[in-house]
Amino acid sequence: MKTDPYNILFIIRILSVRDFGIYFAYNHFWIIAHTKIEIFSKEHDSMMSVTMTQLNEIFQDVFEDDELEVSRETTAHDVEGWDSLMHVTLIVNVEKAFGVKFSSSDISALKKVGDLEDLIHACQNN
């Protein structure tokens, strides 16, 4: 059911004669808003985990290590062989896989894999 904000205001005005009415209208609105936020949050988390799975596969391919597991907190210091040359190779592979293009300033701001994941989503949403 789609809720029209004007209908909610109308309900609040009608029910505002009693405290219970205000409470009911407020909670009804809060439940609708909270549900939408919760659904968005679950979709966002799902999208993030798919991206992280793809990133992990890219890392395994670039670093030729099927045992490599990255997380949002992983940094270059955590991955053996992640030097400047491998960083360029990694970024090129990520751009190809996700169909995005990063600016030099975006790339230089990356500190951990989570930053890369966030940047991918930002580029995909623009």
> CA 7, CA 49: separation in Å to the nearest integer?
37
Which CATH number goes with the domain that contains 20?
A: 1.10.1200.10
The pLDDT value recorded for residue 5 is 47
pLDDT digits (tens, 9 = 90+) for 101-126: 999 999 999 999 999 999 999 998 87
Question: Residue 14 burial (CB < 10 Å; 0-12/13-18/19+)?
Answer: exposed
Residue 16 clears pLDDT 80, i.e. is over it: no
User: Between 91 and 5, whose confidence is greater?
Assistant: 91
Q: What is the residue-wise DSSP string for the chain?
A: -PPPHHHHHHHHHHHTTSHHHHHHHHHHHHHHHHHHHHHHHHHHHHHHHHHHHHHHHHHHHHTT-TT----TT--GGGSTT--HHHHHHHHHHHHHHHT----HHHHHH--SHHHHHHHHHHHHT-
Owning domain of residue 104 = 5-124
pLDDT digits (tens, 9 = 90+) for 18-69: 444 444 555 555 454 444 444 444 444 545 478 999 999 999 999 999 999 9
Number of domains in the chain: 1
The token pair that represents 83 in the structure block: 């030097």
